[in-house]
Structures are given as C-alpha cells and as structure tokens.
Structure 1
Amino acid sequence: MALPSGAPVSAKPKRRFYLRWPFGLAVAAVIGYGVAVAMHWDDRGALWVQESFESTAEQSESVWLPAYQVDIDAKPLPGMDDDEASDIAFNPQTRTLFAVMGKNPFLVELSLDGNVLRQIPLHGWNNPEGVAVMEGGHLAIVDERLHDLTVVKVDAHTTALNHGDFPSYDLGKSVKSNKGFEAVAWDPLRQRLVIGEERPPKLYTWSTDGRSPLKGDKQPLPSDELDLRNLSALGVDPRTGHLLVLSADSNMLLELDEQGQQVSFMTLLGGFNGLEDTIPRAEGVAMDDKGNLYMVSEPALFYRFKKN
C-alpha cells in the first residue's frame, strides 16, 4: 500500500561512531597485547622495573648494558655486502677481532676500530654462523647447515683454512633444520664453550681447556630466561663471566648472570644507546677484556659500544 503523500520515509538508522569505537578499541587492545607478548615487551618491562632497583654496587658487578653508548655506529665493512656478517669474537692475545661471514665462508680479522686487517677463506664450510676465540690461537666455528663445530688453529701466517684438516664435532639435529645451531662463545672462567640454538632459543655447554680436543658431548644449560624471539649470537664478559645473548628478531641484547638470571638488557632500536638508526639485523656480539662491546650486522656493518 502506498504511503500518504508527505508521510516521512523510515530510514535505516546509522550506526553511531560512539557505538563502533569501543569494539575497535577492544580489537586494537587485543592486537597490541599479542604483539607485546610476541615481542616480549611485557618481560622487558618487568626487567626495566627490576633494573631501576639495582644498586650502584650491583650494577658495578655486572656488565650493565643500559650504561653503554655507541661510539662507532654502522661502519661498513668494505666489499662484504654480499657475504653476510654472522658473528664476531675478541682475541685477547692479538687484541683484534675475528668476524665470520656466512654466505661466502671466510674469516675476517679486524682492528678494534673495525678496520679490515686480512681475510681467511674457509674451504669446506657450508654456512658458518658462529665463531669463538679460545686459547693458543684455537678458534671454534659453528656451521648451521653442517650441524657441526670445528676447532681450527689460526696464527699470523694463516692464509686459508680447510674444514677437513681439523677435528669437527657433531652437534646433532636441531628442532628446525634451517634455524639450528647459530652461536658459540668461549667462557674462560668456567673453561667451557657455550653453544646456542637459534629457534626455539636453547643453550648448551661443552667443557674444554680451550686447547685440547673436545671430549664427551654437549650438555644442556637451563634456558628458561631466554624469552626472545630467536637467538642470533652469544658473547661472554671475560671479567664477570656473564653471558650476553643477542636476538636479531627481538632487537635485543640480554645479559644473564652465572645462575642464568636476567640482569640487564639493551634495545637495538634507533634512538636508544646513541644509535642513530635501528641495527638492521644484529648477528654477532663480543666483549673485550676492558668491557668494550662489539657487534656486527647483516649485510656488513660494524658497531662498537663503550660504557659511560
């Protein structure tokens, strides 16, 4: 039946903004919470609160990462953009650094200012991801695809290294084949290698005096405090024995004490700790005997941090 002329037409009521925004806010809150948990911002927030209660004495007994400021920021390693810097280690005998390149396997020796001193090709390696300097010129190299750890000897006359010339140790299969054993660090205080699996992050140790062939097998180390998205590299402070755990996916460097408890952290985002820009993909970390901190990032960038 037709409506009388002039009768008002009933229109579908429009949904008001004030009826929509609570739902949108709830969705945003759920998404934000999910991102915070995935990035472990909740844990970092708890650690940040914990840090604020640490005394000066307690800070002096640790590495205390919040006190570090970058003094060499994103220095390019010349001619290595296609080689993918994967790790870095400090050599106290020569007071130089050794970085390992994963895509085109070779070692590069650097000065403490990040200047290239020499390159040493690695023949027979597939994807070296971790390097540690032990005792008497011995270096441990972890290859993610070969699932092994090789102990090599490097001196001033070394021009190349062949995988088959040195003892290798099977690390076993990892949970994810392409996210396997990624990191290694030498702990001189406890006479052991610390080995890291990338994802899910896990830690292992292998006892050694740093000179002799390895004996036995790797042993699991409690990894409950590794609330990180991945594990990219490991370092050990030779003064305190505290472990440094680097995560490229979390843009984070985490300090663990001798009991494996979180002590401090440093974010790798631009604007923090003096960084002009976010470190693109932090893949290696090392600390020298004076407490200076070194990092390498893909593709081939060098960083140095010093404590205020």
Structure 2
Amino acid sequence: MVFGYHFIIPGLCNKTTYCNGMSQFLSLIGRKVAVINLDPANETLPYECAVNIEDLIKLSDVMGEHSLGPNGGLVYCMDYLEKNVDWLESKLKPLVKDHYLLFDFPGQVELFFLHCNARNVITRLMKKLHLRLTAVHLVDSHLCSDPGKYISALLLTLSTMLHLEFPHVNVLSKIDLIESCGKLDFNLDFYTDVQNLSYLRYHEDHSANNARVSKLTKELCEVIETYGLVNFTTLDIQDKESVGNLVKLIDKSNGYIFAGISPSAVEFSKIAVSDVNWDYYRYPYLQEKYINDDDEKLDAD
C-alpha cells in the first residue's frame, strides 16, 4: 500500500497558489514531491509539474475544435481523461514508489458533485496504483461574513463529500483575509465547527424578498446539521504553522503517519509537528491573530 497523496478540490479558491505553497512546504521538510496538473485550463503554472494533462489534451484546442465554452470544454477534457486514464497511470507509475503526489484538478466545482469523471479517474488510480488519497476542499474564508454565501459553501462541501466518498479535509483558506468583505457575526469556532446554524437566520437580510426564502434557509441548515459531516480547519498559505497543521490533518486522514512511503516517513511526522506552537491551533489564538475584535462577537454556544 502506498500512502501520502492528496488531491485538491477548489471551492472558488486559488488552488494553484495552494499547490505551489504546499509543494514548497513539503519539499522544505524533506518530502520528495511531485505535482500532477490535471487542470487543462492552467496555462501558466507557478510550480514545476511532473505530469501535465496538457500533454494529453488542451482546453483551448477543445473549445476551438468543438465550439464549446470553458465549462463544457472542461467536462469534455475530463471525459477524455477518463477514457485515456491508462496514459495517466503510465506517467504515475515511476513516481508512486518514492514521491508524495499533489493532484491539481480543474476549478469547476460541478466536476466534483454533479459529474462522475473526476471521481472515476481517482477511483481507478486508487485501485490500480494502490494510492491512499485525501480530498482537500478549499473554501474562501471571507464567505463566512455573509450567511447566505456561507450556507451555500456548506451545501457545496456536503454535496462533494457525499458524491466522492473519499477521506475529506475541508479548509477555510485565506484565513488572514476572513474579514475582508465584512465583520463576522460570531466567533471563528462557530464557522469551523458548523453547529447551531439556526443562529444564522437572525443575521440574514430580513427584507420582504428575502422573507420568502427564510423557510428554505432553515430547512437547508437542518439538512447540513443532520448529516453532521462538515467542519473546517483554517489555512494561511504564507504561515508555516498553519500549513503544518493542515499537513498533519491530511497525514492522519490518508494514513501517511502510520506507514509512510519511505524509511524517513516516521521522521517526517517529527519534523512536521515537533516545533509547532500548539497554542496556534486553539481557536482563541486564531481569533486574536486574524480577526479584529473591536466589537464583541456573539458566541452561539
């Protein structure tokens, strides 16, 4: 069994920046990293990729040849990749023995909760190459400042988890910009723990038009809470402590910390977490570091 790989699902986030930052971090702590670009819309890459889907198919060629838009073109590309998954397997075989793989998938979120192509490709790789994969789902943290957008992000996250059925780590990314679009109504742990969503209704726009969907909002919140699957960790890609915390969670979910891909794998977990300031991972610390508390926030608990 080969351990220690994860793929990135974007929730309207800058996934390419994540891949670049994560690959640099993992390299610095001693991992042999290979980034696999499966996004045919990635024309300029800030990182060096070991496998590039553009060697197989390009979005620009598909759009021109078949008169498709960007969304339709991406679906076509994923269909084509699924039919030619042998090409991807052959490219990955030399890497799986001693590399930690990061899969950079397209930014079209529909590919992960409506279409089956991406899921089928990932499942095939897991079976054929014996990979242990974790889905890292990125959500912009500033969506927390708007109850409607936050609930939409929760629904997207839940739908993706149910559709893919893989180990999942959900991330509020750009945590340093969380209040860039407005102040939060609650403390940070309210948004990361995803509990007591009924409190959000008191902070919605109560105009006449919005009153029509108040009942729908209530029902959607109940669906999310009933499943009880969604929660978030936080990420500031420029902060090594924040990235280290995320790596630790991913390693637990895919089993890397229990059986690594090389004899030095045990040493990795020591390198990754030994010098960590554990106060960093307590939400009062994050609250103080990233959120302006000029006005006292509500604690839903």
Give the alignment's TM-score, normalised by structure 2.
0.22
Could you say which structure has the higher strand fraction? 1
- Structure 1 or 2, whichever has the larger Rg, is 1
RCO comparison, higher one (Cα < 8 Å, 6+): 2
Could you say which structure has the higher helix fraction? 2
